[in-house]
Chain A
Amino acid sequence: MELNDGNLQTLTEFMRKTLDPDQSVRRPAEKFLESVEGNQNYPILLLTLLEKSQDNVIRVCAAVTFKNYIKRNWRIIEDEPNKISDPDRTTIKANIVHLMLSSPEQIQKQLSDAISIIGREDFPMKWPDLLTEMVTRFQSGDFHIINGVLRTAHSLFKRYRHEFKSNELWLEIKLVLDTFASPLTELFKATIELCQTHATDINALKILFSSLTLISKLFYSLNFQDLPEFFEDNMETWMSNFHNLLTLDNKLLQTDDEEEAGLLELLKSQICDNAALYAQKYDEEFQPYLPRFVTAIWNLLVSAGQEVKYDLLVSNAIQFLASVCERPHYKHLFEDQNTLTSICEKVIVPNMEFRSADEEAFEDNSEEYIRRDLEGSDIDTRRRAACDLVRGLCKFFEGPVTAIFSGYVNSMLGEYAKNPVVNWKHKDAAIYLVTSLASKAQTAKHGITQANELVNLTEFFVNHILTDLNSQNVNEFPVLKADAIKYVMIFRSQLPKEQLLQAVPLLVAHLQAESTVEHTYAAHALERLFTMRGPNNSTLITPTEMAPFTEQLLNNLFKALALPGSSENEYIMKAIMRSFSLLQETIVPYIPTLIGQLTHKLLLVSKNPSKPHFNHYLFESLCLSIRITCKANPTTVGSFEEALFPVFTEILQNDVQEFVPYVFQVMSLLLEIHTSSIPNSYMALFPHLLQPVLWERTGNIPPLVRLLQAYLEKGAATIASSAADKIPGLLGVFQKLIASKANDHQGFYLMNSIIEHMPTESIVQYRKQIFILLFQRLQSSKTTKFIKSFMVFINLYGVKYGAIALQEIFDSIQPKMFGMVLEKIVIPEVQKVSGPVEKKICAVGIIKILTECPAMMDTEYTKLWTPLLQALIGLFELPEDDSIPDDEHFIDIEDTASYQTAFSQLAFAGKKEHDPIGAAVSNPKILLAQSLHKLSTACPGRVLSMLSTSLNAEALQYLQGYLLAASVQLV
């Protein structure tokens, strides 16, 4: 592409078309631009347009197009063609800084971004003069240009804040420091002087202060990795100016906006960060300056207003004080009683106040409010910062701080008492203060686990919390109610049980409150109380203690779901689940009503599943209803099926993907409860379960396998007689699963159930194919997980059909196959089998091979007999070998990740572990002894001679132990 007017004209036209609202005009133009962007000169044409076009729209459009082009194409990827010609690269780098700086702001931003993208690839080695070019612009005196340079520098340097130290990185930083640090310092000083000369010119000040903020950000980046020599030598200049700026106030720069932080706030906030960086990392060098900064930041806090625009500054400033006051050598800056008192009074208390913004969130954005207040996503809030400062101060001054706050708490409560309607916020602050003062350690599971002993939590509960909860009108002062409920919840591990029991009915009553926050907190508090452990691993609150409130509790929980805004409230649904689980058989009388409500809810949410937590707890609650009811009376399972199957059918028919895995789990649970043969309703579904589409979704696989296992356990005979044509499809599922490294164990679960339950005659024709598939997989990709499952399977097969059958089928596929599998797989790997049932199956299977397989005694397999016995004794006696080969480590992670995230296992649909051998063999070691005894009597002398020639001494000793225990002797 020539750099000529014709091409510029063409580009202009197409560029204009890319802005056309009509897609049929826009698309082809975009396509055209994409098709020509590989040509040499294309980026140069864009730069020409953005510089010289008469049409401002085209200029901006060219700038954006250029930036996106750079973003897509600049990086040179190994083994891929260079997408921008070298002459173009050179031209771009030679002109872009100048262009950026001489362009209006809209274009400047795009080019600045482009420079940082290029810089990330080329700077410093392939763009050595970038910095010098930028630095010379500092001399220009034009702050439009200077800010452009500073902004670009910031985007180039900010990665120094998070990258790992490396020689390469530090070489770059060193180079930057050499060219940049000194001019930056001069600029900093000059800018500050200009601020003084222009102290009354608001427009000039605005530009100068944004320069100062950028300079402060650059300071942070350049000083992040280590304290550079230059900045150590110039610390006085920087720190005294930073200090002055912190204390500076200029009426002109104050903004009316309450929300958005002004220039002054942004600058001071960055300076707080800079001071915090030095205090944390370069303490030794920074020590002389620190006290001054503490005072300045403190004064800043005292004067900052309550408006949202100060939030970032205030929280940064408080965090700075919090981090300093815990360090032993700065303790003295805080220990004076007056200092402590005024920190408490002027910094902490004001920042704990409930502000109008909080009130708005409480009423109109309850989800956000709950997330911040309950789940701790309040990292940057003032309240959180104030709390952190309380904790920091308590490290050295717990006594005095507690005493000072007690005074405040009492006076705030006094204010409240005088006129609750007006002063309720004082009580809110008092409760918050007590909470932050008292809590020293906290977990989601137990609430506050360590409390400040100087605070009497029970007394406060009785005098100030219980009173609020007891008030007849649950809708009065909702914020204080929510505070009170939260108090019970977080201090649950600290309060005596009798107080908690006193609170329970009150919490139940508050489930009816109109305020979303309030009834959500009530549900959450109950849920947490119900999970508390009492003595003997039982729940702290027993079903008997709950008996008087059970009906009310269940009623109110379900009614709460009908309150506006809470129809899919996960806290309430979780409380329902937890209540069921706690109350157990006491809920049975209510189930017929409740199951209807739950089913109805399920029908509603299945139209548009949007709250995964809510839905999960809903299914858990269904499972609990089924289990609890059927435990008392298994025949009721039919009524659940009657209630649930219509909804389930709809879910399956509409393919509600989020719910399908849950449905399979609930169905498994139901089917497993059946004691007689499999109902027809299930059999009708059977062919559908084998549809490939269901198995394509990883989240379906575990619950579907479990469901098929339930089918086999309860209905193998029915399948064999009335659905024999489906057996190849069932085996097809197995074939699909074992082909996948992630799912092969699921394939084995299925196959084990087939072997265990299906009548022999209906699978005999497939046996050889099954083994061939397994051998193919073993040959092509052998993983530890596969081998473990494979060994369990072949041994189960041997247990079921006998060792001879096992040996014969192996050897019929390929001569000497049986020996090869024993030698290469079983003997070296059996130690890796995990799980008691799996180990038992392998032990019994191997015993059969050793003692019931003539080929092991009479053919060349004989040489494997002792090694196999040795491996078996190892399986009994040695610790499990949990090593995996190095190269497998990563495969496993990749393959299993998708399965873990996709599958939502229901805790209350859990299945008991199944032991196919069961009571038939209680102690495999005794079985080994007895079987060996039988073998030795059949061929006297041989067993003993094999043992004495090649079994190692340790194994022999163990074996003698087994023989002794079984009271048998070998002959």
Chain B
Amino acid sequence: MPTTSATDDRLSKFKNKGKEPSKLRERRIAECVELRKAAKNENFLKRRNITTLPEDADQSPELNTDNHEVTAITIEEVVGDVNSDCKERQTRGCQAARKLLSRECNPPLKEIVEAGLLSRFVEFLGRDDDPSLQFEAAWALTNIASGTSWHTQQVVEHGAVPAFISLLASPMLHISEQAVWALGNIAGDGPAYRDTLIECNVIPALLSRITPDTPVGYLRNLTWTLSNLCRNKNPFPPLSAVQQVLPSLIQLLHLSDQDILSDACWAVSYLTDGANDRIDIVVQTGIVPRLVSLMSFEALTVVTPALRSIGNIVSGSDIQTQVAIDAGVLSVLPSLMRHSKPSVQKEATWAVSNIAAGPAQQIQQLLTCGLLPPLIDLLRNGDFKTQREAVWAITNFTSGGTVEQVIQLVQSGGLEAILNLLTVKDSKTILVILDAINNLFMAAEKMGETDKLCLLVEELGGLDKIEMLQNHENDTVYRTAQALIEKFFTDEEPEGLQTDATEATDTTFAFKTQDVQKTFRF
């Protein structure tokens, strides 16, 4: 049975797969199962509006936002008010519902839905004659849509989408803004509703609200909603929608507000998290230099998505990667690799691992820009997730680098650092290191220096560790370790002799050819 390397599944995520096996890049694994807590620095899919308005405090004491008092209002009362024909009661009921839905703990989303209020709320969205009713209804619906998929589904199925889209055009800025928010929650639910919105032409309606006079707060909400419209894979948002959003996104990326920049960068990171043609659309806009400069922004909320976007781009083709390199990404990455946050170190190292999977010229640029010292430092002292990325970087480097580059890697301590990681508690990482060692030996063979490398590996304690791996419980790991030992470390020691039972039949072999002669064709 041919042994397919278990690193194949990861290798197939590298972009150049099939073109040339030695130059493969890593791609973020799509929709993978996670055991960990969701990453703390990712941005939100949905948000509930729990702000309190200044006028709330001025209102009657029993409607004070103080949670204990709000609970005094029962759902029945709300239902009664909302369903009545009296405008004042409608507004009061809507507001009460909105406040219930805005309280910090256990908002009664389900109860409100089950009380059958959604169709009324949606109806109120169209009440251009009564802006405050419109506003309260929009807010209540926003918060319901911020719940689970089921909640969002209820909102959509009651016809809220077209109503909200019309509401975007409201002359009242705060009402329009609430609609933006609600639409963001709906878009954040997943690809299906995202595309429903896109089909309802939400994008032009949103973009038309971006003017030089639009207040920052409004723009923040809008950028976030746009980012949700760019988000999610399987399927990706339609190309036409991406084309529509991009110019405005670029515009937003040149503002200076931290929240806007953060969400705009997240949007770009979603758009670049795909096949090379998706990445290309973004790269073509010329935004890469700006993204690179945002990687050095002071706020982590901007750095993280900017780094993610660039990481995605360098997982693209060699040409796309070169655009990022030309934009100076290599002079920013070293400081990010030394960032105080391990998660930033990890993302930066991931980007380096992808650049290291490029052609030798790009590897040379990594060397020239001094990325080797921080990389090796992370192999030694980084946290485990970062070490794992760094190991990939080394393996990619050794498979695509020239002999001279590989020598430089070894001389800078790269070999020692990966050998020390052979005791790591992760089978895949071990296998990737063994791959790197194998690559180093192939380079050594080219120079006729196999013996020297053998001694070096042994001196650095690597041989002991590889020998120990022959007892590893993972089949592929132990077989790979065994193959390395057999191929490079068994010179003078004789092998055991094979003893085969044989049957003697004759004293000599016969020498004869078959009588039937075929025509030979080679």
Contacts and interface: CB of A to CB of B under 8 A. Distances in A.
B322 to A, nearest CB: 29
B384 A698 contact: no
Given A658-B497, A902-B497, A277 B511 contact: no
B114 interface: no
A697 interface: yes
Nearest to A688: B507
B255 interface: no
A858 B257 CA distance: 86
A684 interface: no
Interface in A754-810: 766, 769, 772-773, 775-776, 778-779, 782
Interface string B1-36: 010001001000000000000000000000011111
A182 to B, nearest CB: 15
Contacts of B512: 769
Interface string A667-695: 00000000000000000000100111101
A379 B471 CA distance: 12
Contacts of B511: 728-729, 731-732, 734-735, 766, 769
A825 B35 contact: no
Contacts of B496: 612, 901
B107 interface: no
Given A174-B35, A901-B498, A164 B508 contact: no
Nearest to B512: A769
Contact of B497 (A442, A693, A699, A898): A699
B214 interface: no
A914 interface: no
A779 B522 CA distance: 6
Given A162-B472, A227-B35, A661-B497, 15 more contacts: A161-B425, A164-B431, A170-B35, A690-B507, A693-B502, A693-B505, A697-B498, A728-B510, A733-B509, A735-B509, A736-B509, A769-B513, A772-B517, A817-B520, A900-B495
Contacts of B498: 697-699, 898, 901-902
Contacts, number: 178
Given A163-B474, A824-B522, A232 B504 contact: no
A593 interface: no
B522 A232 contact: no
B459 A775 contact: no
A228 interface: yes
B424 to A, nearest CB: 7
Interface residues of B, number: 60
Nearest to B467: A376
A376 B500 CA distance: 33
B522 A281 contact: no
Contacts of B2: 890
B503 interface: yes
Contacts of B492: 907
Nearest to B489: A444
Tell me which of B2, B497, B507, B521 has the highest count of chain A C-beta atoms within 10 A of its own C-beta. Answer: B497
A280 B425 contact: yes
Nearest to A276: B425
A958 interface: no
B35 A225 contact: yes
A657 interface: yes
A283 B425 CA distance: 13
A772 B517 CA distance: 9
Interface residues of A, number: 87
Given A162-B474, A224-B425, A328-B381, A772 B513 contact: yes
Contacts of B381: 327-328
Given A163-B427, A164-B428, A698-B498, A226 B36 contact: yes
Contact of A284 (B383, B473, B502, B505): B383
19 contacts: A161-B425, A161-B473, A162-B474, A164-B431, A170-B34, A177-B35, A228-B35, A281-B425, A443-B455, A612-B494, A696-B503, A697-B500, A698-B500, A726-B508, A729-B511, A735-B511, A736-B509, A769-B513, A778-B520
A913 interface: no
Given A280-B424, A697-B498, A443 B459 contact: yes
Contacts of A163: 427, 474
A733 B509 CA distance: 6
B342 interface: yes
A464 B36 CA distance: 57
B425 A697 contact: no
B493 interface: yes
B37 interface: yes
B459 A450 contact: yes
Interface string A277-303: 100111110000000000000000000
B9, B427, B468, B520 interface centre (most CB from chain A within 10 Å): B520
Nearest to B504: A693
A381 to B, nearest CB: 14
Contacts of B35: 170, 173-174, 177, 225-229
Nearest to B486: A900
Interface in A820-857: 820-821, 824-825
B497 A164 contact: no
B427 A229 contact: no
B6 A164 contact: yes
A228 B521 CA distance: 63
Given A281-B384, A691-B507, A778 B522 contact: yes
Nearest to B522: A824
- Please give me the 4 A-B residue pairs with the lowest Cβ-Cβ distance, nearest first: A732-B509, A729-B508, A693-B504, A902-B498
A691 B455 contact: no
A202 interface: no
A776 B513 contact: yes
Interface of B: 2, 6, 9, 32-37, 342, 381, 383-384, 424-428, 431, 455, 458-461, 463-464, 468, 472-474, 476-477, 492-500, 502-514, 517-522
A283 B387 CA distance: 12
A675 B512 CA distance: 35
Interface string A734-762: 11100000000000000000000000000
A170 B33 contact: yes
A633 interface: no
B33 A167 contact: yes
A612 B499 CA distance: 13
A332 interface: no
Given A450-B459, A695-B509, A769-B512, A825 B522 contact: yes
Contacts of B342: 283-284
A900 B37 CA distance: 51
Contact of A171 (B33, B495, B510, B521): B33
Contacts of A229: 35-37
Contacts of A890: 2
B426 A281 contact: yes
A904 B428 contact: no
Contact of A283 (B383, B458, B472): B383
Contact of B493 (A173, A379, A613, A692): A613
A814 interface: yes
A695 B510 CA distance: 13
Contact of B427 (A164, A177, A443, A778): A164
Interface in A694-725: 695-699
B33 A779 contact: no
Interface string A441-471: 1111110011000000000000000000000
Contacts of A728: 508, 510-511
Contacts of A376: 464
Given A280-B424, A446-B455, A690 B508 contact: yes
B464 A280 contact: no
A616 interface: yes
A920 to B, nearest CB: 30
A166 interface: yes
A613 B494 contact: yes
Nearest to B510: A732
Contacts of B513: 769, 772-773, 776
A284 to B, nearest CB: 5
Contact of B37 (A177, A232, A821): A232
